[in-house]
Amino acid sequence: MGLIIKEFFFVSNPFFLNKFSDINSKIRLELSIENFMEENKDYNISLKAKLIERIKELECLYEIAQLTLEKSNSPIQDIFIEVLPIAIKAWQYPEITEVSITFDEKKYASTNFDKGLYFQRSEIVINNQKRGCLEVCYTQDKSNAVEGPFLAEERALINIIAKELSDSVERYESKEEKKILEQKLRHSDRLATVGELTAGIAHELNEPLGSILGFAQLIEEENINNQYLQKDIKKIINAAVHAREVIRKLMLYSRNNEKDTTFVNLNTIISDGFYLLENRCKKENITILKVLDDNLPELKANAVQINQVIVNLMVNAIQAMPNGGNLLLQTNFDKKNIYLVVQDNGGGIPENYMKKIFDPFFTTKEIGSSTGLGLSVVHGIVNSLKGKISVESNLGIGSRFELIFPIKKDDDGDNKK
C-alpha cells in the first residue's frame, strides 16, 4: 500500500512531471538530429565538395590577378606559360585536366593537351577583335554535369580567366605602343631638326657654289683654245651645276610655306623628285619607268607638299624592292581629274596591314629606318586637296598607289595647261 502511494505521489507531482518531460524532449531532439544527419549525409558531403571547388576557383583567380600584376612589364608569352598550371588546379579533376592558350596563331599548352577528350573554350578578344582562345580539356571519361563533364561554375571560370588574359594583353600592348610612339616621336623630332639644318646648310653652300661656277665659266671663256684645260673646267662646271641642283631640290623639300598654293605641273615635280633619288635607284638596281602625259593640266596646290607626296611614294616603293625591280611613275587625266600612279613590283603589303598603312607612325620597318609618317603625310595632303588614294597590293607581286586630284579652274574659269 505504501509503494502504491509513493508511485502515485511521483507521477502526480508537477515538479517531477516537468523534469521528466524536459529529459524526454531532449532525448527526442537528439534522436531527430541524428536521424536528419544520417538521412542527409550525402547532401553534406556534396555541399562540402562544392565549397572546396569554389575555394579552388577563387584561389585560381587570385593567383592569376597577382601574376598579371607582378609580370606587367614582362613579355605576354611569359604570363601565358605561367597561367597554364594555375588554371589546371582550379578544375574539378585537376589530375586529368590540361590547358591551352592560343594567341595570334601561337599555341602555349600543357604537356598532354593533345590527348583531350572533352573540351571547354573561351575567346580572347582585344578591342573587339578575336585574337585567340583559352581551352581546357579532360583526358579521361567523366560523368556528365552541365557542359559535358564540366560544371556550370567552370564555364563562368574559363570566361573570367579569358577576360583577364585579354585585359593583360591590352595593357601590355598599350605600353609597347607607347614606347614605340615615344621612340618614333624622338626620331621624327631629330628629322625635323635635320631638315632645318639642311635648309641652313643649303643656303650656306649656295653662295660659294655660285662663286665656283662663275669663276669656272670665266676661266673657260679665257682659255677657249686650251683643249686639255677645257675638259677639266667642263668637269668643274658640271659638278658645280649638279651640286647646285641638288641643293635647290633640298631647299624645295625643306621649305615650310604650306599655305602658298599655285598651279603646278605634276610632271615637273616628278622629274625633280626623280633627280633626288636617281643615284639611289641606280645603286639598288631599280629601273624607273616614266609614262607622263605631255598635255597634263596643271594642279592648283602647294608645290612643296606635292613634291613631298611624290618623294614619299617613291621612297616607299624603293624600300619595298631591296633586291631591285621596276618603279612606274605615270600621269594622265580626263575631264574631271588628274591621275598619278606610283607602282612597284616589290614584296607587296600583307592584307592585315592594308587598313593601317595611312595611320600615323605605323611602319613595318625597324625604328630608326622609318618614322611611319610617310604615307600618313601623303594621305593628309591628298585629302586637303579634295583628292583620293586607292591602293592595290598583292604579296610577291607589288603595290600600286593611284592618286586622284580634281581639276580646279583658275580665276578666269579655264584649266591651266
Give the C-alpha separation, 256 to 102, whole Å.
49
pLDDT band for 371, please (50, 70, 90 cuts): very low
Q: What is the pLDDT of residue 366?
A: 53
Is residue 378 in some structural domain? yes
Across the range 309-331, mean pLDDT stands at 89
> Tell me, what CATH number does 75's domain have?
3.30.450.40
* Residue 135 in this model has a pLDDT that exceeds 90: yes
Asked whether residue 49 falls in the same domain as residue 29, the answer is no
pLDDT band for 248, please (50, 70, 90 cuts): low
Asked whether residue 114 falls in the same domain as residue 168, the answer is yes
Q: What is the pLDDT of residue 190?
A: 61
Is residue 244 in some structural domain? no
Q: What is the pLDDT of residue 95?
A: 93
* Residue 199 in this model has a pLDDT that exceeds 80: no
Is residue 233 in some structural domain? no
* 385-412 confidence digits (pLDDT tens): 889 999 898 888 999 999 999 987 655 5
Among 177, 207, 227, identify where a domain stops. Answer: 177
Is residue 308 in some structural domain? yes
In the chain, the percentage of residues whose pLDDT exceeds 90 is 20
Asked whether residue 265 falls in the same domain as residue 406, the answer is yes
Asked whether residue 20 falls in the same domain as residue 94, the answer is no
* Residue 147 in this model has a pLDDT that exceeds 70: yes
Is residue 197 in some structural domain? no
Among 177, 204, 235, identify where a domain stops. Answer: 177
Among 146, 177, 208, identify where a domain stops. Answer: 177
* 211-235 confidence digits (pLDDT tens): 888 888 888 888 888 888 888 888 8
Asked whether residue 288 falls in the same domain as residue 319, the answer is yes
pLDDT band for 341, please (50, 70, 90 cuts): very high
Asked whether residue 106 falls in the same domain as residue 27, the answer is no
Is residue 208 in some structural domain? no
Task: Tell me which residue range forms the domain holding 7.
Answer: 2-39
Give the C-alpha separation, 64 to 44, whole Å.
31
pLDDT band for 16, please (50, 70, 90 cuts): very low
Q: What is the pLDDT of residue 192?
A: 62
Look at 172 and 371; give whichever has higher pLDDT: 172
* Residue 133 in this model has a pLDDT that exceeds 50: yes
Q: Of 106, 42, 33, nearest to 75 (Cα)?
A: 106
Across the range 146-170, mean pLDDT stands at 89
How confident is the prediction for the chain on average, in pLDDT? 79
Asked whether residue 283 falls in the same domain as residue 391, the answer is yes
Is residue 214 in some structural domain? no
Output the pTM of the full model: 0.46
Number of domains in the chain: 3
Look at 326 and 410; give whichever has higher pLDDT: 326
Give the C-alpha separation, 9 to 162, whole Å.
79
Asked whether residue 35 falls in the same domain as residue 78, the answer is no
Asked whether residue 321 falls in the same domain as residue 366, the answer is yes
Across the range 111-139, mean pLDDT stands at 91
Look at 415 and 273; give whichever has higher pLDDT: 273
Asked whether residue 148 falls in the same domain as residue 60, the answer is yes
Look at 263 and 372; give whichever has higher pLDDT: 263
